[in-house]
Amino acid sequence: MSILVNKDTKLIVQGITGREGSFHTAQMVAYGTKVVAGTTMRKTVDNVEGAPVFNTVKEAKEATGANASVIFVPAPYAADAILEANAAGLDLVVAITEGIPTSEMIRVCRFIRAGKTRLIGPNCPGLISPGECKVGILPSDVFMPGTVGLISRSGTLTYEIVDELTRSGLGQSTCVGIGGDPMLGSTFSDLLPLFDTDPQTKVIVMVGEIGGSDEETAAKIIPQLSKPVIGFISGRTAPPGKRMGHAGAIISGTSGTAQAKVEALENAGVPVAETTHDIPKLVREALSKH
């Protein structure tokens, strides 16, 4: 099994005719993802990679029975694209778009959390259940089916750590990049319980970074989980007081610092890797104990 996506996922690509949308549609189709439709504001083609193109998500869903979408719509229109997918009643929406204003995402998240649609992102690489379905921009060649679940705020670190796991013979159940923005559709705390109830997942790797308090919040629920969690926090060497690149990397007092996050996780019984190279060893140790 897996969480959120699998071989039965039927995907709509919002913004399918754009440069990024069309390129990554081809990549997802090549991986085996069932891309059943695309949408665009001004329809100029009938299909992309065999997927019919519609003007609205509602039309696409009614024609194809789609249950998920991925958004490659430019930032000025992306918030409305998320709300359109939500209004159509899709189960899952993955927003790849970077640069959506935080003020707009506050409004979007309020609507999303009042309904049944699950939002991943924005400003994220998407997610993958290796061997079954890829939604987003992740480089599929580094992933391998297995029992390690992974959640990460950083796209690049996701690929690096998964490559370490795969080279060590540790395959993955599902890997989710939640994004680095301050306002996210799904947090660590939202997704950890899904991995905990997934029969395929035996251990969870949680990859955080400086800024925000998502990792500290997640540390409060980790002791309630039945499966072991391995942690990693990037940004330990960041200069104190210096604002870093990610929009979510905002530190307030001691909250949001690498030290505060590491301490919170360790107090919750989570082994925290010093470097990415340490993660496969900690995963193997956790698997041997459970």
Which residues are identified as catalytic? 246
Helices (H), 32-100: 57-64, 75-87
Phi-psi region of 235 (alpha: psi -120 to 50; beta: other; left: phi over 0): left
| CA–CA distance, 131 with 53 (Å, rounded to integer) | 26
DSSP 65-83: ---EEEE---HHHHHHHHH
- Residue owning tokens 């005719």: 17
Q: Give the three-state DSSP class for 157.
A: helix
204 and 151 Cβ atoms separated by less than 8 Å: yes
Tally: H helices and E strands in the chain: 9, 14
Closest CA to 185 of 116, 257, 260: 116
